[in-house]
């Protein structure tokens, strides 16, 4: 059993990060089924998207809703594809599986997942834990000094979670959730472009790419807003060349030397930085919740006071939204304003915040007590979904 392979699945709401513990990096596969206007004979599952030439009007079928797995049919289709020779080629038969789930996952979903892995994929052993836990493991490992106390800010597709870990265990009562994620940002961006520039309501896929390319987090909103209105060279201003799916496959920011002939372009000014603002002020779009920095303070209140210095000096931001330029500086500025002067503050945003948790999973699979924590096939056959009760011991 110890010799068999281990597969780590960071099953996100937008992308699944999948790979064996022997792999260098995971495959990042869209966790959805997509239908295209241009190709009406088939749907595109996960990474089959690369075969699609014209991604205009892409229609998403997502297994997750508000961050929780609810569409099992779609999820099963995507998993079947991922674990087929066409995609990753990983055969889960007799493999050990590490899979991630969101905090406060519902027990029905947990049971369903476990059943599918044991009954359908016939895995050898199974363990589920939150992606933030894996990130905390990776963080501690990177530093090699066993600091397993940290705050993980997971900015994903569906929501942002703030999860403090003390000595490798999370403080359940301190977990906070902000219901803003990449999806909200993209949808809002789509609305704004459609009203101010040209109709893109059907183009979530393209809007998401534009968001990734042009948006940044402003360090000083008032200043940037003024600069966006200015005329002349100080003006914050981006011209973006939209994809037409014949010559331009993926849109890009126009550089001064680029000559455009007949490509469609959109000029963005304050959109570039007011969209990521939602992360810091969800109330900007009518979501009645605190932004990241005050929520982090709220979360700290539920932790013992003596842990604050160590927690604040080990903040780690993961997830797709952590990739916005300027995120680190802005977070630092906002949190610094809210905490006493004598407390340390250190924020880390890894180079690849998307696969960071997966890397932690890789290290987790090498833990000496890894196999004590998993549910084996034999245990599952003995007590069914009840076997998962042992996970609580190691949480």
- Binders of another protein among residues 93 to 122 (CB under 8 A) are 103-104, 106, 108-109, 111-112, 115-116, 119-120
Q: What is the 3-state secondary structure (H, E, C) of 273-297?
A: HHCCHHHHCHHHHCCCCCCHHHHHH
CB 377 to another protein: min, Å = 17
Q: Give the residue with the Cβ less far from another protein, 87 or 355.
A: 87
| Per-residue interface string for the shown chain with another protein, residues 252-291, x marking contact by CB under 8 A | -----------------xxx--x------xxxxxxxxxxx
Total interface residues for another protein by CB under 8 A: 76
52: contact with another protein by CB under 8 A: no
The set of long-range contacts for 235-238, using a CB threshold of 8 Å and a minimum separation of 24, is 235/269, 236/269, 236/270, 236/272, 236/273, 237/267, 237/268, 237/269, 238/214, 238/267, 238/268, 238/269, 238/272
CB 232 to another protein: min, Å = 18
CB 342 to another protein: min, Å = 24
| Among 27, 128, 138, 190, contact with another protein (rule: CB under 8 A) | 190
CB 242 to another protein: min, Å = 18
Q: Give the residue with the Cβ less far from another protein, 10 or 271.
A: 271
Neighbours of 38 (CB within 10 A): 12
Q: Give the residue with the Cβ less far from another protein, 21 or 270.
A: 270
CB 361 to another protein: min, Å = 23
63: contact with another protein by CB under 8 A: no
Estimate to the nearest angstrom the gap between the alpha carbon of 171 and the chain centroid. 21
List phi, psi (to 5°) of 99: -130, 150
| Per-residue interface string for the shown chain with another protein, residues 119-148, x marking contact by CB under 8 A | xx----------------------------
Identify which range of 21-29, 184-192, 250-258, 371-379 contacts another protein by CB under 8 A. Answer: 184-192
CB 121 to another protein: min, Å = 11
CB 334 within 8 A of CB 221: no
Order the strands of the 27-30 sheet from edge to edge: 27-30, 15-20, 6-11, 96-101, 125-130, 375-376
175: contact with another protein by CB under 8 A: yes
Strand positions, DSSP E, 21-63: 27-30, 33-35, 44-45, 59-61
Which tokens is 346 given? 């250190």
CB 196 to another protein: min, Å = 7
| Among 17, 177, 211, 330, contact with another protein (rule: CB under 8 A) | 177
Torsion of CA 180, 185, 187, 189, to 10 degrees: 150
| Among 45, 153, 193, 236, contact with another protein (rule: CB under 8 A) | 45
Torsion of CA 231, 236, 239, 240, to 10 degrees: -160
Q: Give the residue with the Cβ less far from another protein, 143 or 173.
A: 173
295: contact with another protein by CB under 8 A: yes
Identify which range of 42-50, 126-134, 315-323, 327-335 contacts another protein by CB under 8 A. Answer: 42-50
Q: What is the CA radius of gyration of the chain?
A: 22
CB 367 to another protein: min, Å = 27
Using CA atoms, how far apart are residues 198 and 223, in angstroms rounded to an integer?
27
Residue 382, classified by CB atoms within 10 Å of its CB into exposed (0-12), middle (13-18) or buried (19+), is exposed
Q: Which of residues 144-173 bind another protein (CB under 8 A)?
A: 172-173
Q: Give the residue with the Cβ less far from another protein, 87 or 365.
A: 87
CB 151 within 8 A of CB 6: no
Q: Which of residues 329-388 bind another protein (CB under 8 A)?
A: none
């Amino acid at each position: 059993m110890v010799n068999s392979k281990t597969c780590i699945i960071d099953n996100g709401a937008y992308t699944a990060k999948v790979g064996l513990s022997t792999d260098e990096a995971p495959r990042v596969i869209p966790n959805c089924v997509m239908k295209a206007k241009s190709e009406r004979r088939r749907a595109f599952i996960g990474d089959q998207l690369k075969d699609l030439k014209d991604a205009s009007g892409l229609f998403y079928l997502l297994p997750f809703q508000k961050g929780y797995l609810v569409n099992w049919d779609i999820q099963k289709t995507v998993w079947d594809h991922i674990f087929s020779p066409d995609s990753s080629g990983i055969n889960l038969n007799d493999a050990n599986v590490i899979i991630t789930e969101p905090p406060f996952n519902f027990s029905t979903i947990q049971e369903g997942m476990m059943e599918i892995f044991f009954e359908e994929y016939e895995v050898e052993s199974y363990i589920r834990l939150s992606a933030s836990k894996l990130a905390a493991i990776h963080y501690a490992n990177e530093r090699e000094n066993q600091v397993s106390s940290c705050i993980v800010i997971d900015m994903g597709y569906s929501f942002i979670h703030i999860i403090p870990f003390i000595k490798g265990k999370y403080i359940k009562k301190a977990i906070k959730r902000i219901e803003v994620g990449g999806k909200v940002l993209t949808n809002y961006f789509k609305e704004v472009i459609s009203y101010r520039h040209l109709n893109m309501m059907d183009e979530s896929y393209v809007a998401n790419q534009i968001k990734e390319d042009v948006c940044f987090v402003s360090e000083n909103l008032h200043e940037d807003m003024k600069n966006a209105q200015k005329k002349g060279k100080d003006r914050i201003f981006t011209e973006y060349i939209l994809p037409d799916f014949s010559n331009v496959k993926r849109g890009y920011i126009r550089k001064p030397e680029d000559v455009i002939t007949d490509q469609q372009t959109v000029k963005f000014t304050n959109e570039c930085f007011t969209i990521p603002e939602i992360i810091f002020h969800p109330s900007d779009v009518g979501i009645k919740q605190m932004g990241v920095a005050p929520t982090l303070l709220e979360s700290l209140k539920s932790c013992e006071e003596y842990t604050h210095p160590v927690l604040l000096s080990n903040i780690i931001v993961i997830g797709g939204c952590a990739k916005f330029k300027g995120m680190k500086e802005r977070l630092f500025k906002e949190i610094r304003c809210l905490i006493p002067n004598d407390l340390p503050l250190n924020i880390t945003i890894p180079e690849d915040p998307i696969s960071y948790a997966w890397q932690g999973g890789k290290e987790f699979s090498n833990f000496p007590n890894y196999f004590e924590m998993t549910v084996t096939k034999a245990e599952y056959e003995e007590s069914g979904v009840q076997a998962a009760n042992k996970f609580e011991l190691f949480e």
